[in-house]
Amino acid sequence: MNFDPRITPARPDLAARYLQGKVAAARFVEGEEREVIDAQAPMREAPSPDAPLMTEALMGERVTVYEFNDEGWAWGQLADDGYVGWLPASALLAPRGAATHTVTALRTLAFPGPSIKLPPVAMPPLGARLTVVRVLHPFVVSSIGFVPAAHVVPLDKSESDFVAVAERFLGTPYLWGGKTNYGLDCSGLVQVALNACGIPCPRDSDMQERALGTPVDAKSLRRGDLMFWKGHVAIVRDENMLLHANAFHMAVAVEPIAEAIARVSAGGSEITSVRRLSGR
């Protein structure tokens, strides 16, 4: 069977137990659940700090770890989008309890006490999940400290306009594999914005093109349509403009659709599809 290696926890020497009989590996293991405790943790292609960044796991995300090595790395699979790779073991702990809230600010601050004058102990990004134990206005008290109540909402509350969420990242640096306001890539922007609206979304643009929405004519664009090229995705802002994280601007930028299509076409790539999410 042909499994996508990006979302299949299998190597020649080791694989997840649930893949036994489906893939070849020297041994199979059950895996151990862990929780991301850093604001964001890099998931890399290899167990090295200079290995390519594949994606990022955000605070509160769950990971099934299949191996811890002696150099401080953990090989596992993210629960949300299924991505597989190497994370710093120091960014993971045994699950501390169910998350109750999610961060809605591009980035918030957690303080060790109920005062903004104290030095923050953590800076979780949009999409990070926290366990809130009580409200002490204007803060919520969480497992990581005192967080401004205005920056979080209960998990059952979602944003209504993913394009508006994406627009908040305007000017953010382009970072291959990134998913926060420190830096993100084209598909990371789409994934984070859709997730904020409670819409599950794969990690990479080719996965998104296969999984999201239905095809529409590129001549009848609406706000929220997703425009795909090979290896790239952009969000239609309106009938004339699109929004995307891209290496040309090295940032999240808005530009005229016609100019973007011409520029990308001049580089040898044509639109592969435009897809519209249901209800838009």
Name residue, tokens 């909402």: 153
**Could you confirm whether 186 is annotated as catalytic?**
yes
Active-site residue, selected from the candidate residues 101, 151, 186, 201: 186
Give the Cα separation of 10 and 21 in Å (integer): 12
Provide the Cα torsion 114, 117, 118, 120; round to 10°: 90
**Could you confirm whether 101 is annotated as catalytic?**
no
Active-site residue, selected from the candidate residues 101, 151, 201, 232: 232
**Could you give the residue numbers annotated as active site?**
186, 232, 244
